[in-house]
Homo-oligomer: A and B are copies of this chain.
Amino acid sequence: MDPRTVYFSEIITLLAVVLYYFVMGARVGMLRGRHGVKAPATTGHPAFERAYRIHCNTGEQLIAFFPALWLATILFHGQYWLPAAFGAIFLAGRVLYMQLYTADPEKRTAGAFTTMAGILGLIVLAAIGLVQNWGAMG
């Protein structure tokens, strides 16, 4: 493993955690308070529901993203910056998704597809890396 590949993926991981937890998650809590949506309800005001779904959907994406990013980081041998580049595409996709969805849920498609492109790229790198590492088993 190239130490730069690992370092870049550590930065991407930290940014993803901060975006998910301290940007998206904090907004859910704030809007729950502002619009009086009492727990355990997860519906009741359109602005809260959008923030809640943005947070939920990003959590679902991260469940796939973190393992895909780190499989690519550990397994792939090639351009050292490629795993982090797909990670950056993923992050850009999530920020775009958040902005588009907040404005109008029907307009979120470009953000969703950018996210998907980032994860798809990482899965391809991980699969290539598994083949490249086949010899390490012998």
Partner of A17, one of B67, B112, B130, B133: B67
Q: A60-B55, A60-B59, A137-B7 are in contact. Are A68 and B17 (CB under 8 A)?
A: yes
Q: A39-B53, A105-B38 are in contact. Are A10 and B130 (CB under 8 A)?
A: yes
Interface status of A30 (Cβ within 8 A of chain B): no
Partner of A53, one of B40, B106, B119: B40
Q: Give the B-binding residues of A (Cβ under 8 A).
A: 3-4, 7, 10-11, 13-14, 16-18, 20-22, 25, 29, 38-40, 42, 46, 49-50, 52-53, 55-56, 59-60, 62-64, 66-68, 71, 74-75, 101, 105-106, 108, 112, 119, 123, 126-127, 130, 133, 136-137
